[in-house]
Amino acid sequence: MGHKLEDLSSKKCVPCNSKEMRAMTEQAANELIPQVPEWTLVNESGRLRLSRSWKVKTYLKGLEFFQAVANVAEAEGHHPDLHLAEWNKVKIEIWTHAVGGVTESDFIIAAKINRLNLHDLVRR
């Protein structure tokens, strides 16, 4: 409850295969969502995921955007789903496939993505 945003983005993702990994309840997820501004919690047939979209300046900037996100994902060993829709809209969905829902690791990666400096790629 007393978490701060810095705590979340400075944490490391837990390996998805760890035995104690459990999907969060919607209530627990709703307590963490304020720490990842502009991400929304999506409930699709009982499976929770985090989702966020951005408008990018160009198609190629969208690919640069994904490369920056991929570097974070690779460092954390936790890989979000990346979508380049139309020519200038990027969408990222994060959930822990191994548990079929969201875990703290999903919020950690969302917080780390939020901290990336993507201003030269994103449209105002």
* pLDDT tens readout for residues 67-104: 999 999 999 988 999 999 889 999 999 999 889 999 99
CB atoms within 10 A of CB 29: 21
| Model confidence, pTM | 0.86
Maximum Cα interatomic distance, the chain, rounded to a whole number of Å: 43
pLDDT value of position 5: 46
β-bridge pairing 40-44 and 81-85: unpaired
How far is Cα 87 from Cα 94, in angstroms, rounded to an integer?
Answer: 21
pLDDT value of position 18: 63
Options 3.20.20.80, 3.40.640.10, 3.30.1320.10, 3.30.1360.20; CATH for 22-115 is: 3.30.1360.20
Instruction: Report whether 50 contacts 36 (CB < 8 A).
Output: yes
Domains of the chain: which residue ranges?
22-115
The model's confidence at residue 16, banded by pLDDT at 50, 70 and 90, is: low
